[in-house]
Structure 1
Amino acid sequence: MSAATRVLVCDDQALIRTGFATIIDAQPDMEIVGECGDGQAAVDLARRLDPDVVVMDVRMPVLDGIQATRRLAGAGVQHPVKVLVVTTFNLDEYVYEALRAGASGFLLKDAPPAQLLHGIRTVATGAALLAPEVTRQLVGRYAARIRPTGGGPDDLPLAPRELEVLKLIATGLSNSEIAAELVISQETVKTYVSRILTKLDLRDRVQAVVYAYRNGIVA
């Protein structure tokens, strides 16, 4: 039997924090190793307890969830921790920044318990969690703001088909949806995704989405 996924929950609202912890700890394949109410405490506890996944709120005192995520999973962190950000639609402007900071994915706070548990399991395996419908609404809404000047699709070290797959990833399509769109197998899609991540030195498809918008690959 494999070891349980160790989870740290960080949210400044005690009711939400306790609710998450109760749901998570009731799972036979998960255990709560800690709870806290601000980002600095999350950083300190994560470094001390070494959880598999940190469930992180965005707006918190002392240190917000974005800064905490950057310290735990950002570029240059020697032993990055997988962070699952929880947010609400009225905080959507922060989601992109959280993903840039190194988060492995995000969920909405009003998501049902099953989605929270699925999100934790997904992130724990090293995969990314980026709900297609949320991707289209949130990242797309801020595309003009986050795209830098210079560069573009022609400057990327990608074959035409790989660029096509990257565009579809950025619009929020899953592997099965991309396979249907391009009339290829899901295994072929997985191969393309792997090549894209390797060529662009990206960790997962969350970073691929951010990269695509930053480089003007999608409008």
Structure 2
Amino acid sequence: MALPSVSSYALPSAADLPAARAPWQLELHRAALLVHDMQEYFLRPFPANASPIAPVKAHIAQLVHFCRKHGVPVFYTAQQGDQLLHDRGLQAALWGPGMRAQPEHEAIAAEIAPHAEDTVLIKHRYSAFQRSPLEELLKARGRNQLLICGVYAHIGCQLTAAEAFQRDIEPFMVADALADFSYAHHIQALQWAAVTCAPAILTDQILTTERLAVCN
């Protein structure tokens, strides 16, 4: 029931991105960034200084810096350790007791740690919207697009994208700022999202959004 060990794999490139069914395009004034579950407990299965997690951290660091600079709200999800069984629910049947209430499990990776102006949401289920004020906070900020990065692509990130879509929030999967159990799981998540709810986008495409908008 524990998280599996992850072997190193290369992140998707532009050539690997699936065609998207969704027609929407990123508009910074409508967007928010969600850094999903980048806690030490969830990062332990990855080789620390190798792909995918090393470049994913680097890309997320670029994204949060860019979003803060351009007034794009930044949200984080973070589970709490030592969850009670009745609160953890069916997740306990699949994944066991989960993380402990200690810094080496609960802490968000230092390289991408939240700032005071960011919002940290307590995570309860796969989707970041479950038992969370995320939708209300997005509406209060006039945001109806959501850039999703973090772990794990085919679990919480995919389910968050699907629920955003069902709440009429336009989601994007940031393909090279996500990580998963394997390259196959990673691509599977992007493909599923692309045909149902969320286009895949690359970090560099986001970082050049403002410049392209000015040029156009």
Question: Which one has a bigger Cα radius of gyration?
Answer: 1
Normalised by the size of structure 1, how large is the TM-score? 0.39
Whose helix proportion is higher, 1 or 2? 1
Normalised by the size of structure 2, how large is the TM-score? 0.39
Q: Which has the higher contact order (CA 8 A, sep 6+)?
A: 2
